[in-house]
Amino acid sequence: LWDFFAERYCCADHLEHQQFPLSAAGTKFVAARVAPRTPAVSAAGGGCAIIEESDLFRVLALYDGTTVFTSMPAPDDYFFLNRGQIVDLTPFCDMIIESDKPLFVGQFLRGQGTTGIPIDLPGGDPSFIMVPPVEQWRDTYVFLTPDKYAFDFITIAAPQGTTIQLDYQSILDYDCVQRAAACTTGVDSGPQYDVFQCQLSFPRVYPDRPPGQNVDPGSQNDGYHVLRADRPVMLLVSGFDKHVSYGYVGGMNMTRINVQ
């Protein structure tokens, strides 16, 4: 048996996801990309090139005659869908999605092969996350970062000016990248939300060592965590290691807002 994912020589990934009920579907989403992999692996000593990375977002219509607006440039700034139809978007920004009827939005994290990270280093596999609508955000979350994964992250989307604490410390005290959720255009005037990408675990990577012996745990912050904010925010939790990854929604309300 292996003690860490890096000790495995091949694949053991699996796809798990949370499915929301139709009654919880909303009409506004912040499509926030999770933390990119190449900067984290490079900073850990992996020596890989840092590239611009994008997640894939899939918009699924639940009703006929749905109009969808995004903050992306044309031709993806708006489109029309009938029930069961989808549109895939691959933004290199954090976009806003709004619609006149409830939607589901899925987020696919890309695999190691799209990043250029060498196959014998931890680069992860694809994962899938259902994006919670703004209407179902919460101001308090209790969540878990599992052990054995070398890299763990959280992604937070919050109204601009929100005060956020992680484990009773300001989010500004953590290793986070903060930016406005904005693309080249806007469904509203100016950015309304900020996105925080925070790294919680910091392994060390040694490319010159043989596979299975080239990753040390370093500083890991595994276990349960508490996130609090003075306004409702979105929380995504993700992580990766060699040939494996995970991603899930840190929580959401299940208010019956879609009663059609």
For 153-167, the pLDDT digits (tens) are 999 999 999 999 999
pLDDT of residue 111: 84
How much is the pTM?
0.92
Q: Is residue 1 part of a domain?
A: no
Q: Is residue 3 part of a domain?
A: no
Average pLDDT, the chain: 91
Question: With 90 as the cut, is the pLDDT of residue 182 above it?
Answer: no
Lowest mean pLDDT among 2-6, 150-154, 156-160, 233-237: 2-6
CB 62 within 8 A of CB 102: yes
Q: Between residues 6 and 52, which one has the greater pLDDT?
A: 52
Q: Is residue 233 part of a domain?
A: yes
Q: Is residue 117 part of a domain?
A: yes
Lowest mean pLDDT among 33-37, 64-68, 140-144, 145-149: 145-149
Question: With 70 as the cut, is the pLDDT of residue 214 above it?
Answer: yes
Q: Is residue 255 part of a domain?
A: no
Task: List the structure tokens of 116.
Answer: 């250029």
Q: Which domain does 203 fall in, by range?
A: 27-249
pLDDT of residue 213: 87
Q: Is residue 254 part of a domain?
A: no
Please count the structural domains in the chain.
1
Question: With 70 as the cut, is the pLDDT of residue 173 above it?
Answer: yes
Question: With 90 as the cut, is the pLDDT of residue 2 above it?
Answer: no
Q: Is residue 21 part of a domain?
A: no
Q: Is residue 8 part of a domain?
A: no
Question: With 80 as the cut, is the pLDDT of residue 11 above it?
Answer: no
